[in-house]
Homo-oligomer: A and B are copies of this chain.
């Protein structure tokens, strides 16, 4: 396997064919679970880090059937025609079960995948959601170091992977169908709350339904503006400034919006990208983009620590031996759960020091 020294220069300063190979090798190295590869991967990542951070990280989610792939392909081609370099990554925890993966079928993005200025990588297909998310985050850093200035991170429509993508993107976009009730589903799953921009796709199929959906989603976003995200509540429309329209942004802070597009016909992409650049400009000026990345990095570190602690605990020889009988005794009501927890922690040498 390639060493960090072999890969750094081709990634940071290479040109497409050699650079593309180096990116693929780096991601493969980072996805390896061998301890020596992991150490080399850490070395490479640390060396790449000063070259990262210059892309716009765009999370894109929505339920299956909403038209994510078509939208991403149209957007990617649109951006490349305007001089951008676009990387497309994915988080699909279901791929660890089925072995399949969103983006696994590259023919889904036929036009985009032939362009030299596009890089498409399917979801890692093994490990927990946390592990899959970590590999995608690291792949994102590699792409940024290679000069891709737009990273699109696709996810399937299940609540946890949406949270993972939101936790690594600068802006989180939720694609919705023009159906009544789709917004309630998104609220219920906690995804609406994460959205910086909601895009009603396939709006051309039923314009009246799309307009109704837009009004409903605007109400929902207003709800979160007032009560949900404390980031947003200070300048919520109708509260601090007396605005009643979500479309009129507060002076210095982004207010989530709703747009209508047709991903298939490519209609609405200009308006979409205009909103994205406006978001970036505003959040850069008010310092929130930098603060969001800072918080994301810390959350990522702690998420990985928690996962590592659990793994180490379960691999402890004494715990591994005692766990089945202890679990059974707790399930059967013979041992109080808190007592069982303390015993197992003591066994692992991790009991409380009080």
Contact = CB atoms under 8 A, between A and B. Distances in A.
A322 interface: no
A341 B46 contact: no
This chain: copies in complex: 2
A322 B313 CA distance: 22
Interface residues of A, number: 63
Contact of A351 (B300, B308, B327, B331): B308
Interface string A24-53: 000000000111001000100110010011
A215 interface: no
Interface string A296-339: 01101110111011111101000000000001001101111111
B313 A301 contact: no
18 contacts: A35-B354, A38-B354, A42-B336, A52-B333, A137-B337, A138-B338, A184-B220, A188-B228, A297-B333, A298-B331, A304-B338, A304-B342, A308-B341, A308-B342, A308-B345, A308-B352, A309-B310, A309-B345
Interface of A: 33-35, 38, 42, 45-46, 49, 52-53, 134, 137-138, 141, 181, 184-185, 187-188, 190, 193, 220, 223-224, 227-228, 293-294, 297-298, 300-302, 304-306, 308-313, 315, 327, 330-331, 333-342, 344-345, 350-354
